[in-house]
Chains A and B, each alone.
Chain A
Amino acid sequence: MKKRTQWRCNEEQTTRRFRHRLMVVGVVMGGMAAVIGWRLVDLQVINAAQLAKRAERQQERLIAMEGERGVIYDRQGRVLAMNSEMPSLFAVPSAIGAPDTLGAKLASVLERPKAELVKRLSTDRAFVWLDRQISPARARAALAMGGGGVGMIAESRRFYPKRSLMAHLIGFTGLDNEGLEGIELRYDPLLRGERGWRLIERDATGRVVLSKGSGAPKRGHDLRLTVDEVIQYGVEEALDAVIQETQASRAIAIMMDPATGAILAMAVRPEFNPNRLAGLDAGQWRNRAITDLYEPGSTMKPLMLAGALEEKAISLDELIDCEQGHMVVANKPLRDHEPFGLMTPREIIQHSSNIGAAKIGMRLGAERLHDWLTAFGFGRPTGIDLKGEANGLLRPVSQWSGRSVASHAIGQEIGVTPLQLVTAYAALANGGWLVRPHLVETVVSPDGIGRPEASSPVRRVISEQTARQVRDILTAVTEPEGTGAKAALADFRVAGKTGTAQKVNPDTRRYDPQAVVSSFIGFVPAEAPKFVLLVVVDEPQGLGWGGTVAAPVFRQIADATLHYMGVVPLSPLPAPKLVRKVPPRPSIVPEPSSPQTVALRVE
């Protein structure tokens, strides 16, 4: 009984203790549940909005996407400039333990100065570039030794697969794909795409889980140029050859379709590779065909003659006394390269007589000569679609001296760009119209719709009859007696003019007989010109006559281009004709009817 009572007492104690413990556990659990509950309310209700925003910031990321830069093609659709992705290396300096050691390692891989890299790695900035747009192999090697502090980003880089071909014309872009020179600069707003964005959600490992919205980047417009790669290559090859042969300091050539003003080729030597700009200065990539002025010399004479014919200041059968090669103008001598007697305007151009040209210019007078030079486009930009075009130098008549009329008539005291001269000659070739030179034929929008570039209206400079007359005269220059005989082609009649202009020595401020600019400008076939071509060779060594240095280059380029264009002779070259022979060195001015001077011969 006693035992039973004791057992019952123990049971009650155990039950009470158990209840007590249960109560304690219940209170603890309840307390914990209350804390968790309170935390849940805090997270889900009280601070819900703020925390949701913070989570979004951690998980979401707005990515800016560059619109791809447009492609540049030649007139046949060959790629001249295009973008491709290249790796760029960056570093997070705070994550790098030993900048000195890492800098030394990276310097050998990236081929950059160690001091520069160490300086970048030691900075307190959150992000620094180590090297941009480098080869993938080099980037991989640098990443392998960089550890966690070095990263890589793919950046879009401009490539020029034809290397130096057309480099002065196309120009180049900077590291951030902004146009810096040439077509790249002029058409930058069109070529450059529009930036886009994408909002992404990332997981804990940084992988993209969702794209929560985007504004698609817009690709830039493509450009189709008027320039032809094959023609350009032929032009550049010929310039390289003449520079090598004559040791000239520079050479320039421009080819233009006279009917439309489309530039078919534009080359400047020495060249540069737009893919490797490091170490180059601005002078090397300047497009001298539109920026540099030179005195055109005798190539100005046909333009002056066109003005005189248009004004009827002279007739084609008139004889002009060329003073046996020596004349005094404003107390200074004016000489010809050889003594000439009486000559027609045709012969003056054919033999490039300075005195004859000066006399024709004097017939026009200062005002009218200035007006005609202005009408041909000198003294102001041609309006080509490139930036940085020079105005040229054509002083107002009020600043002319007593000799200026004669000087302008023979292409001195006037500064022109090669492009201005080509544009003026295009007017002779196309029947009297001044055209606007242009390089872009079509702008193609990202959706593939091509829009021809609008060219400004042309204006008539001279009548068709005058243009034809001057064209006929210019064909005499490439005949065997002419100064440009070496520009003649076997199958086509060439109309053109030589030019040999002395350069002014900046020290003495006088013409330097040793430094000349040799040039030849012409068009072919003379009857229906396909192109106007100017070749300028600056400071050739030795005998630097335009007819001996530049004319053969013209012939080489013109011959290859006509073949490439598939141009065939319109008709067999004209039969030999009777021409008036110019006496070589007559001692006195002979009578026109004298049998000695009007000797006819068959060519």
Chain B
Amino acid sequence: MMRRTRGMARRLDPRSASTEGERWRRRSWWIGAGLALAMMATVWERSEVVSLGYEVSQLRTTRDMEQQRHRALILESSSLASLDRIERLASTQLGLSTAKPGQIQLVPERSGVDPAAMVAALHLRLQVARVEGAP
């Protein structure tokens, strides 16, 4: 009964009503600020995602371009190393020519090896290839 009477008195007290309103205003302000902050965070996050998306897209393009350049360079190097081109340059610009059979001397390293042993080795190689290649 006492508590109820005190509550009614507080509601009727103009000072008490002013404090209540102030508290409500403060609470609203905090809620508003929180909401605004959350919205700003959301917008910032979205903006970051978009920005990173652009960056990733740019990096992906750069990577593709570099890979393409790498492939093009491999092709160019392979084309430049073509034997017909090298031979043409060697003969026209350096004055080189293909060695004639008489200009090359072969030195027998394994003159003591029995040819039959070499044939046997060949057969062994064949057998191994057969075993390895068998399905």
Contact = CB atoms under 8 A, between A and B. Distances in A.
Q: Do A and B form a real pair?
A: yes
Interface of A: 78-79, 82-85, 154, 159, 161-163, 165, 200-201, 203, 207-211, 229-230, 233, 259-260, 430-431, 433, 435, 452, 454-458, 464, 468, 490-491, 527-529, 559, 563, 568-572
Contact of A568 (B53, B78, B101, B109): B109
Q: Tell me whether chain B's interface is mostly helix, strand or loop, or mixed.
A: helix
B119 A528 contact: yes
Interface residues of B, number: 43
A75 to B, nearest CB: 15
A518 B53 CA distance: 68
Contact of B84 (A85, A233, A433, A559): A233
Contacts of B56: 211
B126 A528 contact: no
Contact of B68 (A85, A431, A490): A85
23 contacts: A82-B71, A84-B75, A85-B71, A161-B79, A162-B78, A162-B79, A165-B82, A208-B57, A210-B49, A210-B50, A260-B125, A260-B126, A430-B126, A435-B126, A455-B129, A528-B119, A528-B121, A563-B104, A568-B107, A568-B108, A569-B106, A570-B115, A570-B118
A548 B134 CA distance: 42
Interface string B83-114: 11000000000000000010010111111110
B108 A571 contact: yes
A551 to B, nearest CB: 15
Nearest to A163: B82
Interface in B67-85: 68, 71-72, 74-76, 78-79, 81-84
Contact of B135 (A78, A456, A458): A456
A163 B83 CA distance: 11
Interface string B29-64: 000000000000000000001100110110010000
Given A209-B50, A528-B122, A570-B108, A159 B75 contact: yes
A258 to B, nearest CB: 8
Contacts of B79: 161-162
A247 B78 CA distance: 32
B134 A572 contact: no
B121 A230 contact: no
Given A82-B78, A84-B72, A528-B118, A209 B111 contact: no
A209 B54 contact: yes
A433 B126 contact: yes
